[in-house]
């Protein structure tokens, strides 16, 4: 466990993965992730990521990574202007990166719980995301179909998760950790973590 007031990541190597979990950092009083981005630990997290270490932000963690400039774009208020907490479906956009490499090309049922989850980025950044295959997940129907009816927050191009150009920093709004045990009635999310663990430890860090 890491405390936000810590200033170092002693004992961690680039083969490890730092996870920024969901929640409401600093009460989201200014803008989700905007204050947490200045927590002392974030300088160490940024240095860790820039040196090739894996960083995974979920929900508020995704917002913090965008505010810190570790991921492009921003998370805006949901298009319906309301907080929502429910199950949605997402599917991998490709299988290039560790977190998607072992996933099937199908819809996974994963919970969301956010008020500011609408992914937005300027057109040039969206173009780069496509070019570098940085879009990880898209919102879809239970059968994997894309469409505005299956986009829970109005995200551009139904984007539910992205990574950086180097492929070692990941962010997603849905919560796979809330769907990782059969006792919870859904273990779809466990496959995301299994894929990341198996592939992040591979010696092949040059992804094709």
Which residue in the list 80, 140, 175, 181 is annotated as catalytic? 175
Contacts 24+ apart (CB under 8 A), 147-154: 150/88, 150/89, 152/78, 152/84, 152/86, 152/88, 152/112, 152/117, 153/78, 153/79, 153/80, 153/84, 153/112, 153/114, 153/117, 153/118, 154/78, 154/79, 154/80, 154/118
Rounded Cα distance between 20 and 13, Å, is 17
Which listed residue (59, 66, 140, 163) is catalytic? 59
Judge whether 175 counts as a catalytic residue: yes
The answer to whether residue 59 is catalytic is yes
> Closest by alpha carbon to 168, among 102, 96, 104?
96
Answer yes or no: 177 catalytic.
yes
Catalytic annotation, pick one of 114, 150, 163, 177: 177
DSSP string, 140-158: E-TTS---GGG-SS--GGG
Q: Which residues are catalytic?
A: 59, 175, 177
């Amino acid at each position: 466990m890491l405390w936000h007031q810590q200033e170092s990541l002693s004992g961690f190597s680039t083969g490890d993965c730092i996870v920024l979990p969901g929640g409401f950092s600093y009460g989201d009083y200014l803008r989700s992730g905007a204050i947490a981005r200045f927590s002392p630990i974030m300088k160490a997290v940024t240095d860790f990521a820039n040196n090739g270490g894996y960083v995974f932000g979920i929900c508020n963690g995704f917002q913090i990574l965008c505010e810190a400039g570790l991921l492009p774009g921003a998370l805006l208020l949901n298009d319906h202007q309301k907080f929502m907490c429910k199950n949605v479906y997402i599917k991998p956009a490709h299988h290039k990166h560790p977190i998607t490499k072992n996933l099937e090309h199908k819809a996974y049922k994963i919970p969301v719980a956010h008020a500011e989850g609408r992914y937005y980025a300027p057109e040039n950044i969206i173009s780069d995301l496509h070019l570098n295959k940085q879009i990880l997940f898209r919102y879809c129907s239970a059968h994997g179909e894309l469409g505005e009816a299956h986009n829970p927050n109005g995200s551009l191009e139904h984007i539910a998760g992205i990574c950086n150009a180097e492929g070692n920093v990941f962010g997603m709004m849905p919560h796979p950790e809330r769907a990782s045990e059969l006792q919870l009635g859904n273990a779809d999310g466990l496959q995301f973590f299994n894929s990341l663990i198996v592939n992040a430890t591979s010696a092949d860090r040059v992804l094709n």
